[in-house]
Amino acid sequence: MISRRSFMPVTLAVALTLLAEPSSLALPIQSIVDAVNQVSYTNYLANSLFTHDGNNRGLTGPDHNPARTNIYNAFVSSGLTSTLDSFSYAGGTYYNVVGTLEGYARPDLYFVVGAHYDSASNPGADDDASGVAGILEAARVLSQYQLPVSIRFIAFDAEEAGLRGSAAWSQAHSGDNILGMIELDMIAFNPAGANHDRARIFSASTSQNAATLGLFSAMTTYVAGVTPYFAGRATNSDHYPFGLRGFPAALLIEPSGNPYYHQQTDSVDTAAYIDYWYATQMTRGAVAYLAAAEADLPEPAALLSVMSGLILLAIAHRRRARFPITRN
């Protein structure tokens, strides 16, 4: 017969194992967010994306394809697996640029963070090179960490032609395990007055979802100086096709009223226009969402240990039932 003296240490050891194991990853979220660097962000926006006076990233503009190449190369420099994902529109072939940071535990599960690199046949510094610079900087920072599930950083094409790139990509991947999607579209104009230092969060419907709620929570917790708020439904950016297909999707965007919207003056050379600090904080919001979401996922090693502990505990209790404890 098993004695209480021999049974109790087994039970106690298993219980301590279950209590000691973490339920989620110990990612240094605030440190990751703080690693988003304004100098690096500024360099991407001003020097890699053709955002100066006279530049043109429209679908047929001279700077469209060179910008695409620079985005691809930036993903490669950050150690991401980079691909050009083709789609057809108006008799032509266009490309979304995809940089994949592969998760070590479940690479088939992933988050998407996107922005569009085409413009309204202008420099498009804010619309939407600002968002592209954001995903490039986010990729640079997050690539320094091992994460349990994957992140796909996507620079969409032909957004200005009716969300063509994101519609094609989300349709082709409608059966994938996409945990959430964040779109950065126009994140560098910070107006004076009542809306100063504020950020709008939209979903594809009037109701909030896991992405909008997670983005709001992450920005509120980890990003200083910018106040996010839920602004309802928006259908005119690349989050929308993802939302239509049932994925949690959110748009992060500056307040309305940009006077240079779709103008040739949407340029980094326009005086007192681009707020690099504000754009960096907006980028930190996206990074905070991704880091916090990854940290909320169970650590695979912890899950294995907990499962092993539960099995041992079940065996111990079964043996106890078969061989009742007797008092000596």
223-251 pLDDT per residue, tens: 999 999 999 999 999 999 999 999 999 99
Confidence label for 22 from pLDDT (cuts 50, 70 and 90): very low
pLDDT higher for 317 or 82?
A: 82
Average the pLDDT over 107-111 and give the result.
Answer: 98
- Residue 233 phi, psi dihedral angles, 5° rounding: -105, 140
Confidence label for 321 from pLDDT (cuts 50, 70 and 90): very low
Q: What is the mean pLDDT of the chain?
A: 89
- Cα(83)–Cα(63) distance, rounded to whole angstroms? 19
- Cα(14)–Cα(163) distance, rounded to whole angstroms? 54
Residue 29 pLDDT exceeds 80: yes
pLDDT for residue 211: 98
Confidence label for 182 from pLDDT (cuts 50, 70 and 90): very high
Q: 307: Cβ–Cβ under 8 A, 6 or more apart, which residues?
A: none
Lowest mean pLDDT among 145-149, 283-287, 301-305: 301-305
- Cα(143)–Cα(240) distance, rounded to whole angstroms? 27
Instruction: Give the strand pairing for 227-233 and 198-203.
Output: parallel
CB-side exposure of 58: number of CA atoms within 13 Å? 11
pLDDT higher for 10 or 188?
A: 188
198, with CB counted inside 10 A (0-12, 13-18, 19+), is middle
- Cα(127)–Cα(131) distance, rounded to whole angstroms? 8
Residue 305 pLDDT exceeds 60: no
pLDDT for residue 303: 42
Q: 319: Cβ–Cβ under 8 A, 6 or more apart, which residues?
A: 2, 7
User: Which of 159, 100, 99 has its CA nearest to residue 129?
Assistant: 159
98, with CB counted inside 10 A (0-12, 13-18, 19+), is buried
For the record, the structure tokens of 52 come out as 């100066």
- Cα(299)–Cα(283) distance, rounded to whole angstroms? 26
The CA–CA distances, whole Å, from 38 to 1, 57, 139, 276, 285 equal 69, 24, 14, 7, 13
